[in-house]
Amino acid sequence: MCSFQCRRAVRLFPLTIVVLALVLSLGPAGSVADDGLRSQRLLVYISAGTPQLRTQLIRLGIDVLALDFEGVTARLTPAELRALQQAGFACQVMAVGAQSVLVDDRYHTFAETEAELQEIAALYPDLIRLEVIGRSVEGRPIYALKVSDHAQEDEWSEPAVLIFALTHAREHLSTEMALDIVHMLIEGYGRSGEITNLVHQREIWVIPDLNPDGDVYDVESGYYRFWRKNRRPNADGSFGVDLNRNFGYQWGCCGGSSSDPATEIYRGPAPFSEPESAALRDFAASHPNITVSLNLHSYGEWILWPYGYTYKPLPADMPPLDYEAFRRLAGEMAGMNGYRAVQASQLYLADGTADDWLYGTRGIFAFTFELYPRTYNPGFYPPGSVIPAETARNRPAVLYLLRTADNPRKVVGEGGDLTPPWVELVEPAAGGYISGPLSLRAEAGDDIGVTMVEFAADGRMLGLDEEPPFALVWDDAPAVGSVWVWARAFDAGGNMAESPHVLVHFAGASPGYFPIVQRMVVAGP
């Protein structure tokens, strides 16, 4: 490990002059195979305290690994570093020579992802529908998996959610997050009132691997290749198009992508030139009930919203109400997972992105999660041991997004349902004698309608009822002991209410005058 500070202060040249000097000095950053440059690469932190400066660095096509509001971390050749120094950028070399990183078999390969999706679809045909929505440059299938209570039907009246991952090949944690969401939903179905209600009220589509060719290429040698793009053969001998610069809204408009095929942000020869981005376009266009989307990337621990193509928070193509809804939704989710919420362009400009197209063309409230970690160490390839914790960390935020899908603008008071239902546990009655199976009954109501009531005891779900009168018999209640029981009610807006808790005392013989049922005025412990 070696570090030193490049002493040159950033000179206040006009940005166009800086860019011209750098482009002439650097040449095409990706013109040599990554494996051949591995031993020459330097890990460098480059100070860049404004979105404009960060955008200028990214426009060069250097291999940016991470960024924050103060600068970017990149892998550079010695020539690239010298050019940045000569342009006046303050740099810190943190490592000399790129370390080879062994592929971690705790992450899914493409073949393993494919097999798991097919297995899930076979095991849960009532909840899961698996489709091939397109094929990659090299002919691999792009899968979309639907989770819903009527999975094989198209329920156009229900709001739909689109979740997709691995747009960039080296971001393998995103596939793990997508698969975790699927498992959360199918394993929680019938065991969690909230999840069951959302599966009933939403169509949830998950695409775990949008870039299967890049995925395979990144891992096939046994060492990660730091590969980002797809595997399109380019005319100059390089490979790959950045799929997240290939979407048609404001494609190539604003300096947030590159026309140089050798760069990491090459936008392709035309909008939707790539079968992978075209597959997502066609899928979204054929599902007009999609209201929100979640684009999973890594890394940096950010929650981003459109637009990426302009620094303006309120351009002409975004109503102020939508901006405020984006800000509030992202802020709520960031409060749940500890990420940082920001409009995408406040990090750097990026045009032709999936989120910009989904919102700008389809009106979908599109978000990106840049997953764990926050810094370059461990970067794109954290050990597989973190997968359970880092995916579980995002579950509350994902469920929140699913709840808002009936109308995302409801968070700013524009339509949708924010009014929770009410629920009261009316049986068992206070003071009754409890022995054997316990009958529970609840009354519930809502301004639009109650969709489900859940009965619970000491945190364990006892069962669900979708039709009034809402009732349940607890057949395997304990013979002796004391248990808190309660009910929760749900509505189509994903809102929930919980009844006061009732303490039930079970005994083999009547305790006489002792009141064996006590009703709490406030929620239980």
- Two structure tokens written together for 430: 């206070």
- How many Å apart are CA 364 and CA 11, to the nearest integer? 41
- How many Å apart are CA 12 and CA 89, to the nearest integer? 10
Distances in whole angstroms, Cα of residue 48 to Cα of each of 10, 17, 43, 73: 9, 16, 16, 10
φ, ψ at 444 (rounded to 5°): -150, 150
- How many Å apart are CA 273 and CA 187, to the nearest integer? 38
Task: Identify which of 59, 27, 29, 66 has the alpha carbon closest to the alpha carbon of residue 370.
Answer: 66
Measured in whole angstroms, the distance separating CA 112 from the mean position of its chain's CA atoms is 21
Start-to-end C-alpha separation, the chain: 52
* C-beta separation of 449 from 457 below 8 A: no
- Token look-up 């799929």 returns 243
Q: Provide the angle, in degrees to the nearest 10, between the axes of the packed helices 395-403 and 172-188.
A: 70
Sheet holding 203-207, edge to edge: 128-135, 141-147, 203-207, 160-165, 290-298, 365-371, 302-305, 340-343
Distances in whole angstroms, Cα of residue 11 to Cα of each of 22, 46, 111, 132, 221: 14, 14, 50, 52, 43
Residue 269, exposed/middle/buried by CB under 10 A (0-12, 13-18, 19+)? middle
- Two structure tokens written together for 507: 């005994």
Which of 274, 301, 370, 454 is an active site residue?
Answer: 370
Helix (H, G, I), strand (E, B) or coil at 285: helix
Catalytic residue list contains 370: yes
Residue 154, exposed/middle/buried by CB under 10 A (0-12, 13-18, 19+)? middle
Amino acid at 60: L
Helix (H, G, I), strand (E, B) or coil at 217: helix
Point out the residues that are catalytic: 370
